[in-house]
Amino acid sequence: MGKYKDFIYDIETYPNVFTFSAVYMNGKGKVAFEISDRKNQIDELLEFLRNVKRTQCRMVGFNNINFDYPVVHFILTKAKDAFKRNKPVKVTAAQIYDEAMRLINKSPDDKFSSKIKDADVIIPQVDLFLVHHFDNRARSTSLKMIEVNMRSDNVEDLPFPVGTVLTNSQIDVLLKYNMHDVNETLKFYNYSKEALNLREELTVEFGFDCTNYNDGKIGKQLFITSLEKEKPGSCYIQTERGRKMNQTKRDIIQIKDCLVPYITFQRIEFKTLHEWFKTRTITETKGVFSDIDEGELGELSKYSELVVKKKKFKNKPSNLDIAELLSEHPKGWVEEQDLKATEYAFDAEGNHIMHQPVDEFGNASSKPKKLRVNKKSYWGCWKKMEGLNVVVDGVRYDYGQGGIHAAVKGIHRSNEEYVILTYDVASFYPNLSIKNNISPVHLGSTFCKVYSHLYDMRKSTPKGSAMNAALKLSLNSTYGDSGNEYSPLYDPQYTMSITCSGQMLLSMLIESIIISTDSKVLMANTDGFEVMTNRKDVETVKLKVAEWEKLTSLTMEGDIYESMFINNVNNYISVTDKGKVKLKGMYEHNDFTKHGWHKNHSSMVVAKAVESYFIHGMDYEEFIRLHRDKYDFLLRTKVPRSSSLVLVVEGEDVKQQNICRYYPSKSGGKLVKLMPPLEEDGDIRRLGIDTDYNVKTCNNIKDFDWKDLDYVYYINEAKKLIDGITG
């Protein structure tokens, strides 16, 4: 790989044993070292590490920068100190374990303090955990999860609880497990070659070490470096106390100041939305376009979808109760509902109301009875908009910080009369900023100058090159970082200017098309949209796109879809007129190496069957029963360390790995997650997983049994995905 020589390694720490295992990048030269009560290979380990350093190799691991290497660095520091004092190196398993526990038990606020400073690192480190951005909470992924997603034959979990004092035979098991993890890390290292090669090339190209940067960080660093090169001090100012970050912070943001001036509408629905936007003042950017009370919407409420919310009064509301309701929800009201239960009725003076019962023939009873009436419940009601939206010609358009969204559920096909056109804006957010000179205030014109330069550079750089990839990362990551309060690009008004102007401009083009042609919007998503257009109007649509491009100085890219199968804006299948298939969300089943290592790869046979059903007309049940890739049938589940997983077989709990691979089976047992009680001295909570089916665990692929596979599970799941589009 590139110019580097790499060793892949992993460590294990227990109170009475420390193990270090490694393998050379070509899979040869496996080594294992042990420091325990029965064996102390500290000298051999140190000699190995010296050779790694001497031959200018790197050490590659998984989460090694925050754990494995600091432990190794602890050992190296102890050795260095001993050599200085001309003393033998004395490092025990107990000392190493204590250091490991110190690192593990650091508070979340102190999570970065375990990292060894770059200048102090003795042997260069490559951390696949950081390269793939698994340190992001939304992408958090363990090596065991990677093993599942790599379709490893054997997914082994740590064989003994942390803190166990191991016997000699258990240490032998631990050594095998340690080498298993090294082999799995090597496999992931090979899958990561493209990403690592990119970082090698970019480190040379840009002059900053991005070996362990995730994609977004590479893009942001390139942009910041370019800004500083263009105008030194634009992002950071050097003070007596050190480097200070430049930012633009805001107490309030007027949305009218975020909208480009040439936005105009003809349809009353879009017009009203535009006017409403211009009245808004916000103090933060998150969640400002959700949970909006009807009283705040004004005329916009006439053209939007609202939901009714209710709050129950304990008793019949007093005038004060109603006043409080209306002060919070000016357009609220009180609803009275009859209950099945009854109670005696009283008059104004508190006396029982009497009535003369009659029988089935209409004959009055001789004796009056106390009247019973249904009890009543009282509810305070109001309407709210869960997410900012407007409905135009039956299509609901949602607006928010993520951009415009709309989707018409169902099967849509081009035919002799109508054709599906798809358009999206080329580099929408970068070009919206560049063409309108929108920038974070503290960066001024330098921001757009650099943005424009990087965009032009990418257009002139060969596709597939490292430089092109880096420039793409830079262009795509800049907008998001403008909302990051830890970034020198931070200016929340810039963030809102791009997203609010962007969705309004896209709405303008959509409006122009539906007014001028026989077209129906099928979907809109952030930077583009799809319309079903009468073929006689195709040229008019192209004209409207061209007019919009001239007005905005933006460029649209178009294509033709033969069909679209839409569940919602994030879950759909589309096919171009040239047969190119696009799968999104629940309908994705990419090659497992391209599916996203942090994603759930469970039961891919389901999405494959659904695609075959919609595109090729194949019976999905037949597809599933004929499919022969066993990994496509496997599912996985995971539970946190505070919980445990059991397979209930004939009433007995059989403990399982916390990250567990399984498949629905005709025999087997019930998979149950055991969670801590919510209250002290409470009961352990039991939560079933796929409770309608028996399952068998399959952490070793040898345990997979075609004859015992319950095809009904997969058939039912496929039907759910199909019904999500057709239902």
Q: Classify 217 as helix, strand or coil.
A: helix
Q: Which residues contact 379 (CB under 8 A, 6 or more apart)?
A: 310, 311, 312, 313, 334, 335, 337
Length of the chain: 727
Residue 470 has pLDDT above 70, yes or no: yes
Res. 114: pLDDT tops 80 = no
Q: Which residues contact 48 (CB under 8 A, 6 or more apart)?
A: 22, 31, 33
For residue 61, the tally of other CB atoms under 10 A from its CB is 26
pLDDT of residue 207 exceeding 90, the answer is: no
Query: In this predicted structure, what is the pLDDT of residue 550?
Result: 97
722, 610 Cβ separation under 8 angstroms: yes
> pLDDT tens digits, residue range 596-620?
899 999 999 999 999 999 999 999 9
pLDDT digits (tens, 9 = 90+) for 277-306: 999 999 988 888 999 999 999 999 999 999
Helix or strand (DSSP H, E) at 32: strand 31-36
Largest CA distance in the chain: 116
Task: Please tell me the least confidently modeled range out of 13-27, 216-230, 558-572.
Answer: 216-230
Minimal CA–CA distance to 541: which of 395, 416, 421? 421
Q: Are residues 595 and 631 in contact, defined by beta-carbon separation less than 8 angstroms?
A: no
pLDDT at 588: 94
Asked if the model's pLDDT at residue 385 lies above 80, the reply is: yes
Strand ordering across the sheet containing 635-638: 635-638, 659-665, 694-697
Select from 166, 104, 226 the least CA-distant residue to 473.
226
pLDDT at residue 397 above 60? yes
Which pLDDT does position 109 carry in this prediction?
58
Cβ contact 555:505 at 8 Å: no
Q: Tell me, what's the pLDDT at 590?
A: 81
Q: Between 492-516 and 268-279, two packed helices, what is the crossing angle to 10 degrees?
A: 170
User: In this model, does residue 205 exceed pLDDT 90?
Assistant: no
Average pLDDT over residues 572-584: 96
Tokens of 275: 């006017």
List pLDDT tens digits, range 422-449. 999 999 999 999 999 999 999 999 999 9
pLDDT given at position 681:
84
Whether 354 has a pLDDT exceeding 90, the answer reads: no
The confidence score (pLDDT) of residue 686 equals: 94
pLDDT 10s digits, 296-335: 999 999 999 999 999 999 989 999 999 999 999 999 999 9
Q: Residue 108's pLDDT is what? A: 58
Using only C-alpha atoms, the chain has a radius of gyration, in whole angstroms, of 32
pLDDT (mean) for 450-477? 89
Distance between CA 457 and CA 451 in Å, rounded? 10
pLDDT at residue 107, as a whole number: 63
Beta carbons of 563 and 411 less than 8 angstroms apart:
yes
> Is residue 386 predicted with pLDDT exceeding 90?
yes
Kindly indicate the confidence band of residue 100, based on its pLDDT and cuts at 50, 70 and 90. Answer: very high
Sorted by sequence, the CB contacts under 8 Å of residue 200 that are 6+ apart come out as: 1, 2, 3, 4, 211
Q: What is the pLDDT of residues 508-535, one digit of tens each?
A: 999 999 999 999 999 999 999 999 999 9
Tokens encoding 678? 């919510």
Q: Which residues contact 356 (CB under 8 A, 6 or more apart)?
A: 364, 365, 368, 369
CA of 505: how far to CAs of 285, 407, 498, 712, in Å?
20, 18, 10, 48
Q: How confident is the model at residue 111 (pLDDT cuts 50, 70, 90)?
A: low
| Helix, strand, or coil (residue 651) | coil
Q: Between 70 and 472, name the one with better pLDDT.
A: 70
140 within 8 A of 598, measured Cβ to Cβ: yes
Q: What percent of the chain has pLDDT over 90?
A: 81
pTM to 2 decimals?
Answer: 0.89
What is the reported pLDDT for 229? Answer: 92
Among the listed ranges 427-431, 541-545, 676-680, which one has the minimum average pLDDT value?
676-680
Least confident of 37-41, 103-107, 474-478: 103-107
Query: In the predicted model, what is the mean pLDDT of residues 650-659?
Result: 93
Q: What domains lie within the chain, and their CATH numbers?
A: 5-213 (3.30.420), 215-289+391-569 (3.90.1600.10), 307-387 (no CATH), 599-726 (no CATH)
Contact present, 671 and 695 (Cβ < 8 Å):
yes
3-state secondary structure of 348: coil
Q: Which amino acid is at 131?
A: V
Rounded-to-integer distance, Cα 286 and Cα 291, Å? 12
Q: Is the torsion defined by CA of 591, 149, 630, 726 positive or negative?
A: negative
Angle, to 10 degrees, between the axis of helix 428-436 and the axis of helix 492-516? 100
Alpha helices in 627-710 (DSSP H): none
Residue 463 pLDDT class (50, 70, 90 cuts): confident
Does the pLDDT at position 101 exceed 90? yes
Note the pLDDT of residue 422. Answer: 98
Interval 152-177 mean pLDDT: 94
Q: Fill in the DSSP letter of residue 358.
A: B
Distance set, CA 602 to CA 405, 586, 599 (Å): 28, 11, 9
> Which among 318, 540, 269, 331 is positioned nearest to 421, based on CA atoms?
540
- Lowest mean pLDDT, pick from 34-48, 257-271, 345-359: 345-359
**Per-residue 3-state assignment (H helix, E strand, C coil) for 487-499:** CCCCCHHHHHHHH
Distances from the Cα of 142 to the Cα of 63, 463, 597, angstroms: 9, 32, 10
Residue 337 has pLDDT above 60, yes or no: yes
pLDDT band at 368 (very low <50, low <70, confident <90, very high): confident
- The reported pLDDT for the residue numbered 370 is 84
**What does the alpha-carbon distance between residue 242 and residue 316 come to, in Å, rounded to a whole number?**
64
Q: State whether residue 407 is helix, strand or coil.
A: strand
Contacts of 654 (CB under 8 A, 6+ apart): 646, 647, 648, 669
**Which residues lie across from 238 on neighbouring strands?**
243
